[in-house]
C-alpha cells in the first residue's frame, strides 16, 4: 500500500506540474516564443493572427519557433510560461494582449537579454502604480477606433441602418473599436442623409471573451427585433454572434483578423494587422535594430488597420469608396474619436454645410457614454405584450409548482 501511495503521489506531481505549464508545441530548439492569452492558438482571432505572423516570418527566415499555453489566466501562470520559454532558449518572447502587461513588466527586468514584443499593452505593475517600458521591450498598440470606423462606415454605405455592437469586456482596445464603429456609421449616415437605428440598447459588453449560449441568445434577441448587422469585438465570443446571425439569416462584423472564412454571415472584419506588426518587429530583431523602451502605434497612416476588401461580402460598397475614406484617415481629413467625449466633439464639429442632414451628434439617438463605458443598464420593457407575458409566465409557474407538489405527495402516498 505504501508503495502504491508513493507511485500515486509521483504521478500527481509529474502530471500536475505538466498541467500548470500546458506546453503545446513542436519538439526541438527554438528562438522565437509566443505565449497565448485567454484563447487558444487557433482561436481564429487575436492569438491566431499573431501566431500566423510569427510562423510566416520564421519559416521565411529559417528561425525556429514555439508557443506555450498557460494553464490559467493569471500573472503567475504567464510568468511561468515565460520562464519556460527562456529556459528553452527563446531570444524573443511575443505576448499578445493586455493581459500580459504586468507579467511582462516583471519579466523584462528578470531577463534583460531577452526581447519582449507586447501586443495591445504597455508594461506596468499589477496595481497600475508604475508604468515602465524597458529597453528590451517593444509595446505595440493599434488605432482600433480607426478600424472600427471603417467597418461602421462600410456597413452603412452598404445599405444597413439597424446596427448593434457587442464587446468582450470594456477594456481600452475594445472600447475604441466600439467608439470608432459608432463614429463611422453616423459619419456615413450624415453623408447619405439617413437615420440609423443604433442606440444604447444595442450596445453592450458580454463580460468575457468566450463563446456561450447566453451570448448567442442575446445576439439572437437583437436580430429578432430587427437588428441587421452586429459588430462583435469580443474575441472567441464572436462565434456566438456568428451562430445567432446564421440562425436569423442576418449578418455580423468580425474583428482583429479576416474572419470571413469562419461563417457566411461575416459581412467584413475590422482588422488589426497583427501578423504584419509582429513580422516588422521580428525583422528589426533579425537586423539587430530592435528598438525597445518606447511604444509603437499602428494605424491607417502606417497600414496598421484595414478591412479585407477581397473577402468582404459587399455588393454596393466598393474598393474605390474604401480607398477614398481610408485616404481621409491617412491625411488627417478625418480624425477618428477614441472615446465618447471625443465622439461628441467629432460630430458637433462637422461642417454643417457639408451634409444635407446638417445635424449635430446629439440629435441622434446614438449609444450613450454609459453604454460605451460598459455601465449602461437597458430600460425594462414595459410594453403591454411584455407585461402580459410576465403575468402568463407567473401563472404558469404557480400551476407547474402546484402540479409538482401534488406529484410528490402522490409518490409519497404510494410509497406508504
CB atoms within 10 A of CB 134: 16
- The neighbouring-strand residues paired with 270 are 255
Handedness of CA 257, 80, 293, 281 (dihedral sign): negative
Task: Please state the domain extents for the chain.
Answer: 19-142, 145-270+308-373
In this structure, what C-alpha cell is assigned to residue 68?
506555450
Alpha carbon distance 304, 291 (integer Å): 18
Q: Could you state, in chain order, the average pLDDT of each consecutive group of 10 residues for the chain (416 residues)?
A: 38 34 52 88 82 95 94 94 95 95 98 97 96 98 98 98 95 94 93 89 91 96 98 93 98 95 97 94 97 96 96 98 98 94 82 42 62 67 42 39 41 40
- The neighbouring-strand residues paired with 254 are 269
Residue 23: what pLDDT?
38
Residue 37: what pLDDT?
84
Nearest Cα to Cα of residue 94 among 243, 274, 347: 274
Residue 78: what pLDDT?
96
Q: How many residues does the chain have?
A: 416
CB atoms within 10 A of CB 19: 10
**The model's pTM:** 0.78
Lateral strand order in the sheet of 32-35: 65-68, 32-35, 92-96, 115-119, 137-142, 296-298
Q: Which CATH superfamily is domain 19-142 in?
A: Response regulator (3.40.50.2300)
Residue 396: what pLDDT?
39
Residue 102: what pLDDT?
97
Residue 199: what pLDDT?
86
- The neighbouring-strand residues paired with 68 are 35
**CA-CA-CA-CA torsion for 321, 325, 328, 334, nearest 10 degrees?**
150
Domains 19-142 and 145-270+308-373 equal at CATH topology level? yes
Residue 91: what pLDDT?
97
Residues 6+ positions from 229 with CB-CB distance below 8 Å: 155, 160, 162, 163, 164, 250, 251, 252, 253, 267
Handedness of CA 274, 278, 283, 289 (dihedral sign): positive
* Biggest CA pair distance of the chain: 88
Helices marked H in 2-123: 2-21, 46-61, 75-87, 101-110
CATH architecture of the domain covering 145-270+308-373: 3-Layer(aba) Sandwich (3.40)
Residue 6: what pLDDT?
36
Nearest Cα to Cα of residue 229 among 191, 272, 181: 181
Amino acid at each position: 500500500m505504501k508503495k502504491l501511495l508513493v507511485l500515486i503521489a509521483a504521478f500527481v506531481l509529474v502530471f500536475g506540474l505538466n498541467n500548470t505549464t500546458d506546453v503545446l508545441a513542436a519538439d526541438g530548439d527554438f528562438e522565437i516564443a509566443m505565449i497565448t492569452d485567454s484563447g487558444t492558438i487557433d482561436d481564429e482571432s487575436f492569438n491566431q493572427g499573431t501566431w500566423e505572423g510569427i510562423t510566416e516570418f520564421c519559416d521565411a527566415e529559417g528561425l525556429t519557433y514555439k508557443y506555450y499555453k498557460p494553464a490559467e489566466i493569471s500573472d503567475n501562470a504567464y510568468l511561468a510560461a515565460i520562464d519556460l520559454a527562456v529556459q528553452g532558449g527563446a531570444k524573443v518572447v511575443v505576448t499578445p494582449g493586455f493581459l500580459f502587461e504586468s507579467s511582462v513588466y516583471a519579466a523584462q527586468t528578470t531577463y534583460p537579454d531577452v526581447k519582449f514584443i507586447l501586443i495591445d499593452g504597455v508594461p506596468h505593475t499589477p496595481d497600475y502604480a508604475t508604468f515602465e517600458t524597458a529597453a528590451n521591450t517593444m509595446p505595440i498598440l493599434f488605432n482600433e477606433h480607426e478600424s472600427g470606423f471603417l467597418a461602421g462606415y462600410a456597413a452603412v454605405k452598404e445599405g444597413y441602418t439597424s446596427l448593434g455592437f457587442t464587446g468582450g469586456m470594456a477594456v481600452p482596445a475594445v472600447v475604441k473599436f466600439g467608439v470608432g464603429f459608432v463614429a463611422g456609421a453616423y459619419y456615413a449616415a450624415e453623408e447619405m442623409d439617413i437615420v440609423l437605428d443604433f442606440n444604447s440598447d444595442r450596445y453592450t459588453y458580454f463580460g468575457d471573451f468566450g463563446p456561450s449560449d447566453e451570448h448567442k441568445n442575446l445576439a439572437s434577441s437583437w436580430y429578432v427585433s430587427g437588428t441587421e448587422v452586429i459588430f462583435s469585438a469580443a474575441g472567441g465570443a464572436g462565434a456566438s454572434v456568428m451562430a445567432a446571425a446564421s440562425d436569423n439569416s442576418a449578418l455580423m462584423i468580425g474583428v482583429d483578423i479576416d474572419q470571413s472564412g469562419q461563417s457566411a454571415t461575416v459581412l467584413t472584419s475590422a482588422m488589426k494587422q497583427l501578423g504584419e506588426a509582429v513580422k516588422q518587429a521580428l525583422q528589426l530583431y533579425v537586423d539587430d535594430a530592435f528598438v525597445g523602451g518606447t511604444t509603437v502605434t499602428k494605424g491607417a497612416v502606417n497600414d496598421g488597420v484595414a478591412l479585407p476588401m477581397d473577402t468582404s461580402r459587399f455588393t454596393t460598397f466598393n474598393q474605390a469608396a474604401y480607398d477614398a475614406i481610408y485616404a481621409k484617415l491617412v491625411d488627417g481629413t478625418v480624425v477618428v474619436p477614441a472615446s465618447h467625449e471625443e465622439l461628441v466633439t467629432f460630430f458637433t464639429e462637422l461642417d454643417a454645410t457639408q451634409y444635407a442632414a446638417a445635424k449635430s451628434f446629439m440629435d441622434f439617438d446614438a449609444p450613450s457614454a454609459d453604454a460605451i463605458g460598459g455601465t449602461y443598464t437597458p430600460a425594462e420593457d414595459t410594453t403591454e405584450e411584455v407585461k402580459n407575458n410576465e403575468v402568463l409566465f407567473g401563472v404558469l409557474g404557480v400551476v407547474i409548482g402546484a402540479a409538482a407538489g401534488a406529484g410528490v405527495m402522490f409518490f409519497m402516498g404510494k410509497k406508504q
